Amino acid sequence: MKVFVTGVKGQLGYDVVNELRKRNHEAIGVDIEEMDITDAASVDTVIHRAAPDAVIHCAAWTAVDAAEDTENQEKVRLVNAVGTENIAKVCKELDIKMIYISTDYVFDGQGTAPWLPDCKDYSPLNVYGKTKLAGELAVSESLSKYFIVRIAWVFGKNGKNFIRTMLSLGKKYEQLRVVSDQIGTPTYTYDLARLLVDMVETEKYGYYHATNEGGYISWHDFTAEIFRQAAAMGHKEYERVAVTPVTTKEYGVSKAARPFNSRLDKSKLTENGFTPLPDWKDALHRYLKDFNFEEI
């Protein structure tokens, strides 16, 4: 199978291309230098020339707080909404599969019940969420051969992420305040890439949720486990770091409102024969084992 992948310089796109090649699929990876997704003509030309069997669309504007800045809002809309619509149009013309990576941010993050993949009770709290929802609708309203996969709390080797940030802060400070009232589950891009390739090899289309298994946690829980595992691997400087749980209100206002409830129901994966992602603690262990602590 020939699969076209956008956003290959990002954490997920990088891992998706590697997973495709591992399985002897032909992976065509692009980033903005090869194809500007906000330019319909560029998208049309590049994808038609590649003539793939499927597109896995990983490119997105993911800087959630920066998306709130007035000068950025139109750029965010062009990337997340218009760019996705441009790709969906070409997939429709070529009659090929499309996987679109979305987010828990399409919901309002209230309550405690896990969000179901087919729930249409959208109410995004910020610009990022609104534009990702617009991307979802562009895909679902124009295509029949689509997978919309919502993920949360993403980390991977090829880029910035929460783990890298916490490890860096833990080297500098003996006390950290971390939010404890936002609940969800991390998603390791290495594991997610495997699932996405599993999906593209099928015709089991629709909406899915995909994060690592292991239960729902807070950012505070995640941070405590990051430092525990790092210390157990011999990085003893993290043993001294005290991680204090605080509420979102106590932590202080960020530019973009964050969902309190990022619990995603993933039962549809097993119902459709897909293998769930491994436990998040196992994913964290594998990530840290390969992490270059000298870089931070």
Return the CATH number at 7.
3.40.50.720
Asked whether residue 21 is domain-assigned, the answer is: yes
Contact 212, 266 (CB under 8 A): no
Averaged pLDDT for residues 87-98: 98
Asked whether residue 95 is domain-assigned, the answer is: yes
Q: What pLDDT does 171 receive?
A: 95
- pLDDT reading at 26 higher than 80: yes
- Please provide residue 143's backbone torsions phi and psi, each rounded to the nearest 5 degrees: -120, 155
What does the mean pLDDT of the chain come to?
97
Share of the chain above pLDDT 90, in %: 97
Asked whether residue 173 is domain-assigned, the answer is: no
Asked whether residue 237 is domain-assigned, the answer is: no
Both tokens of 121, joined, read 């009770």
- pLDDT reading at 119 higher than 80: yes
Contact 149, 210 (CB under 8 A): yes
Averaged pLDDT for residues 45-58: 98
Could you tell me the residue range of the domain that residue 61 belongs to? 2-161+185-213+262-278
Q: What pLDDT does 254 receive?
A: 85
Q: Which residues are catalytic?
A: 128
Contact 163, 155 (CB under 8 A): yes
pLDDT in tens, 146-159: 999 999 999 999 88
**Partners of 183 in the β-ladder:** 218, 261
pLDDT in tens, 175-193: 999 999 999 999 999 999 9
- pLDDT reading at 206 higher than 90: yes
Share of the chain above pLDDT 70, in %: 100
Residue 279, classified by CB atoms within 10 Å of its CB into exposed (0-12), middle (13-18) or buried (19+), is middle
pLDDT in tens, 216-275: 999 999 999 999 999 999 999 999 999 999 999 999 878 999 999 999 999 999 999 999
Asked whether residue 232 is domain-assigned, the answer is: no
Q: What pLDDT does 74 receive?
A: 98
Q: What pLDDT does 293 receive?
A: 94
Asked whether residue 86 is domain-assigned, the answer is: yes
Domain count, the chain: 1
Asked whether residue 138 is domain-assigned, the answer is: yes
Asked whether residue 229 is domain-assigned, the answer is: no
pLDDT in tens, 4-22: 999 999 999 999 999 999 9
Return the number of other C-beta atoms located less than 10 Å from residue 263's C-beta.
23
For residue 58, what pLDDT band results from cuts at 50, 70 and 90? very high
Higher pLDDT, 159 or 80: 80
